[in-house]
Amino acid sequence: MDEQNADTEHHVTITERASSFGYTEEVEMEVMSEHDGDIAQEEELHKVDEHPMELESDVDDSILSRKADMDAQARKKILEDLAEENFKRGNKVFIFPTSIKSDQIIELYLNRSLSTLVNEPEVLLSGAFNGWRWNFFTEKLHKSDLNGDWWSCQLYVPKEAYRIDFVFFNGGDIYENNNSEDYFLPVESRMNEEAFEYFLLEEKQRELERIATEQAERERQAEEQRRKEEEKAAIDADRAQAKIDVGRKREILQRQMKLATTSLENVWHIVPNVFTDGKTVRLFYNRSSRPLAHATEIWIHGGHNCWSDGLSIVERLLPAEKKDGDWWYADVVIPDRALVLDWVFADGPPQRAIVYDNNSLQDFHATVSKCMSEELFWVEEEERIFRKLQQERRLKEESVRKKAEKTAQMKAQTKESTMKKFLLSQKHIVYTEPLEVRAGSTVAVLYNPSNTVLSGKPEVWFRCSFNRWTHRNGPLPPQKMVNAENGSHLKATVMIPADAYMMDFVFSEREDGGIYDNRNGMDYHIPVSGGILKEPPLHIVHIAVEMAPIAKVGGLGDVVTSLSRAVQDLGHTVDIIFPKYDCLNLSNVKDLQFRQSFAWGGTEIKVWFGKVEGLSVYFIEPQNGMFWVGCIYGRNDGDRFGFFCRAALEFLLQSGSHPDILHCHDWSSAPVAWLFKEHYRHGLSNARVIFTIHNLEFGIHHIGRAMTYADKASTVSHTYSKEVSGNPAIAPHLYKFHGILNGIDPDIWDPYNDKFIPVSYTAENVVEGKKAAKEALQQRLGLRKSDYPLVGIITRLTVQKGIHLIKHAIWQTLERNGQVVLLGSAPDPRIQNEFVNLANQLHSSHADRARLCLTYDEPLSHLIYAGADFILVPSLFEPCGLTQIIAMRYGSIPVVRKTGGLYDTVFDVDNDKERAQAQGLEPNGFSFDGADSSGVDYALNRAISAWFDGREWFNSLCKRVMEQDWSWNRPALDYIELYHSSRK
């Protein structure tokens, strides 16, 4: 530090200290000097003294009290002057000090005689700060000792105040309120109206955070309590187990102890013949006329207490110089806590022995003298067993915890890298600099119109707002974009407000509008981080008839559950309304309880509530037995599901729920769209209807009607949305129709945490994991346990799934020396029959290499996904398809026909490198066009050859597909966008 700076430092210190005492020499001088000194003096007199204790050490007492006297006199004089002057002017109110600074105490004076309160015995002040927005207060005024009818009170002005608003009253209904205009005083402060808005938002956010923290703490305590109870229950269980174990042991040992002796005449004896545990004894064995009479070596294999700890003694015997027989001996240490010594003799150590003398299958048993009472021994034994059980349990818990940690960590990493990819994937159209948009910062938005409707326009205008167009300042004025340095993009610069959580924008060709690029009606949205406000959650209600794992028939069931979980994970509220089928898999419903019932549609409708995979599910059970038919589909479905949709809406209305989004699926819950618009739009006025087509093949009439009524519609992949866009049910509604790819739930499909496969694996040990799974699969299905390329097929056996291609592929795989496993069931009995015949035929011709399992078997499907090298999906059409996605999660390579979602998720290693790259991906499988056998052969032959020809490459492909993220991380964001766009 140089000298000048040192000086400055010094000066600052003195000033700070002086002001903290409440006065300085300088101030005193100013007070003496007339008018403007008044203010300085006033300020000092009203400063909130934060360090009163520091007075004593530095300042002399007598000087201090003299100064205080002078201060009081000066103060009184100023107040008297102010009172007189204000009275003369007819002012009812004055304050001291005359200008207000924040973080100060002021005094307010009212001249009662001039006010409406002239005859009132009580005078009170009622007010708040900043335009009556904050910190309301009421103070009692006291008659002051100034001349005239002046009443006063003190008031602390907080540092957040920029104005004070107040009125006086008598404690009842007589007010002195400045002729109905109220009084207000400006406060000199760092706060202003704009900053105060932010302060309020921050305060609200802090309050929400406080509530959230308290809630989290309550949950933590509840969790802690639960953990303690579990721990206690575990201890009790281990104690009980130890008791049982020890009882069993004691019984066996007592039986054994009866057989134990101190010697066997002319066969064995021990020296000394009385011994205790821990001692070394010499065991003699006479092998003449025994099985080991001619062995070259003699060994003892021993243990204790009925072999309770297994083999613990192994010694080689030496010849003994003893007469009367062929005696051998070994020195043996008696194991701790032995009551009985158990052993056999053999002609070698454990791995080499062939001939044994095991006392005619009874083994030998010697009695060990006890060092302690038998009761004490068993008490100790029980304790030992208990401790062992405890330790085993701890180790198990620890490994479960570690696994959960790793799972969470991998999940977070995937999520983060997908988010980054998502932001970058729009780069050819729009991106920001910096990529992460932070509240309170300035960012550049770069836009390339050449791929949009604004291509070739001479001007582009940027129109932006925040918080999904709801920001309190409204949209920013349109901004003409300028050329960016990179030559390809246009640029606009935006200041992100501190309370933004989302940046929203569109582009137009003119300042006043014209043609817009609003991303097909969705607008552009970029999340803003670090803001003082968080996005308010949406309340979404799914009305659906399938849901994994309680009632799943196909992909629809998977999607309802996994989409809901992903959206819930993003902080939104999700409920599901579901039929209470009698065939529900109730073991997967937690805490099922009756909620309410209401009369509707000529019957009583009971509503139940339970948790499924962490989701809140309301079960609708009409007492007319509509869902007591033993199946999900196949019994008057139109009527049953129509009734269910209406009952679901009725339940929402009756329970006073106000969801933002009603999401219905396929023809089965399509009626929600028009029933809502026709009957419930007013009662559930907040809601918008989203309709998702999972398969256009069924119930087209219902689908067409729902397309008309829904606010937004989607289908389950981009390519399928294009494939069906010409359908008359869809074509008129393309403006509100979007393709959003399905994802899978990474917790439900997770080879690292899958109880149906033998070895947990991630991309790192995929080869080892899949090898074990393949062996288990071969074992389970009775296939030859050898390293073949294994093709798996998991499907509903319907025409859609390319039945003739599946059959061809089975034979082709066998032809190429592979193994095939098919898991599938056919709703159509004729098709089921065909496959039963094929299964029989294969059983006689290729029993060791082909197995068709013609049932629905969820656990087996997991083992096939893990154990197969390839999963074949030759569908004739496929809206999305989940099997190829699940396959990749398990490191199996998809072999697919290029249609619908199969086209969007599988990129051929030979033909789709560029298409994959455009999505930031690497190729991940094999695919084919056409719908004949040569198409299948083209893909399957390349796949199997790749397996035979380059296992290293093949293994790296397995690793690569596992690392790709086909979960809901990305599509869930698209659904949230769709939900929001329906609310615009």
Query: To 10 degrees, the CA torsion angle through 495, 498, 502, 507?
Result: -20
Judged by beta carbon, residue 889 or residue 970, the one nearer ligand ADP is 889
Contact predicate 525/506, CB 8 Å: no
Q: How far is the CB of 946 from ligand ADP (least distance, A)?
A: 24
Judged by beta carbon, residue 637 or residue 857, the one nearer ligand ADP is 857
Judged by beta carbon, residue 212 or residue 799, the one nearer ligand ADP is 799
Dist. CA 360–CA 355, nearest whole Å: 12
**Pick from 539, 629, 616, 630: nearest CA to 577:** 616
Judged by beta carbon, residue 662 or residue 793, the one nearer ligand ADP is 793
Q: Which tokens belong to 461?
A: 């205008």
Q: How far is the CB of 907 from ligand ADP (least distance, A)?
A: 18
Dist. CA 793–CA 886, nearest whole Å: 12
- DSSP lists the bridge partners of residue 364 as 343
Q: How far is the CB of 506 from ligand ADP (least distance, A)?
A: 35
Q: How far is the CB of 599 from ligand ADP (least distance, A)?
A: 36
Dist. CA 297–CA 295, nearest whole Å: 5
Contact predicate 538/979, CB 8 Å: yes
Judged by beta carbon, residue 772 or residue 882, the one nearer ligand ADP is 882
Judged by beta carbon, residue 189 or residue 883, the one nearer ligand ADP is 883
Strand, coil or helix: 383:
helix
Angle (deg, nearest 10), helices 61-89 and 34-46: 110
Q: How far is the CB of 881 from ligand ADP (least distance, A)?
A: 4
**Pick from 832, 826, 805, 969: nearest CA to 899:** 805
Q: How far is the CB of 858 from ligand ADP (least distance, A)?
A: 5
Q: How far is the CB of 905 from ligand ADP (least distance, A)?
A: 11
Q: What is the DSSP string of 407-467?
A: HHHHHHHHHHHHHHHHHHHTTTTEEEESSSEETTSEEEEEE-GGGSTTTT-S--EEEEEET
Contact predicate 850/814, CB 8 Å: yes
Q: How far is the CB of 824 from ligand ADP (least distance, A)?
A: 5
Q: Residue with the closest Cβ to ligand ADP?
A: 555
Q: Which tokens belong to 371?
A: 């060092």
Judged by beta carbon, residue 153 or residue 882, the one nearer ligand ADP is 882
Q: Which tokens belong to 96?
A: 């001291």
Judged by beta carbon, residue 20 or residue 832, the one nearer ligand ADP is 832
Judged by beta carbon, residue 78 or residue 826, the one nearer ligand ADP is 826
Q: Which tokens belong to 944?
A: 């199997």
Dist. CA 732–CA 713, nearest whole Å: 12
Q: What is the DSSP string of 91-114?
A: -SEEEESSSEESSEEEEEEEEGGG
Judged by beta carbon, residue 548 or residue 710, the one nearer ligand ADP is 548
Query: To 10 degrees, the CA torsion angle through 838, 844, 849, 854?
Result: 40
CB neighbours of 149 closer than 8 A, spacing ≥ 6? 111, 112, 113, 114, 118, 143
Longest dimension (CA), the chain: 141
Q: How far is the CB of 795 from ligand ADP (least distance, A)?
A: 5
Judged by beta carbon, residue 812 or residue 892, the one nearer ligand ADP is 892
Helix (H) or strand (E) holding 565: helix 555-569
Q: How far is the CB of 665 from ligand ADP (least distance, A)?
A: 12
Judged by beta carbon, residue 364 or residue 877, the one nearer ligand ADP is 877
The residues of the shown chain that bind ligand ADP, judged by CB under 6 A, are 554-555, 558, 794-796, 823-825, 856-858, 861, 880-883, 886
**Pick from 105, 200, 195, 194: nearest CA to 158:** 105
Judged by beta carbon, residue 673 or residue 880, the one nearer ligand ADP is 880
Judged by beta carbon, residue 509 or residue 745, the one nearer ligand ADP is 745
CB neighbours of 671 closer than 8 A, spacing ≥ 6? 641, 642, 645, 646, 664, 702, 706
Q: Kindly give the residue spans of alpha helices, DSSP state H, lying in 816-932.
A: 829-845, 858-867, 883-889, 900-905, 913-917
**Pick from 140, 146, 76, 75: nearest CA to 113:** 146
Q: How far is the CB of 801 from ligand ADP (least distance, A)?
A: 7
Q: How far is the CB of 920 from ligand ADP (least distance, A)?
A: 24
Q: How far is the CB of 206 from ligand ADP (least distance, A)?
A: 45
Judged by beta carbon, residue 270 or residue 794, the one nearer ligand ADP is 794
Q: How far is the CB of 873 from ligand ADP (least distance, A)?
A: 7
Angle (deg, nearest 10), helices 25-32 and 34-46: 140
Dist. CA 755–CA 768, nearest whole Å: 17
Q: Which tokens belong to 733?
A: 């509604």
Query: To 10 degrees, the CA torsion angle through 882, 887, 890, 891?
Result: -140
Question: If you search the block for the tokens 């299905």, which residue do you land on?
Answer: 781
Q: How far is the CB of 880 from ligand ADP (least distance, A)?
A: 6
Q: How far is the CB of 423 from ligand ADP (least distance, A)?
A: 29
Q: How far is the CB of 666 from ligand ADP (least distance, A)?
A: 10
Judged by beta carbon, residue 168 or residue 749, the one nearer ligand ADP is 749
Amino acid at position 328, single letter: W
Dist. CA 775–CA 793, nearest whole Å: 17
Judged by beta carbon, residue 776 or residue 823, the one nearer ligand ADP is 823
Sign of CA dihedral 717, 720, 726, 727: negative
Judged by beta carbon, residue 669 or residue 861, the one nearer ligand ADP is 861
Q: How far is the CB of 755 from ligand ADP (least distance, A)?
A: 16
Contact predicate 108/118, CB 8 Å: no
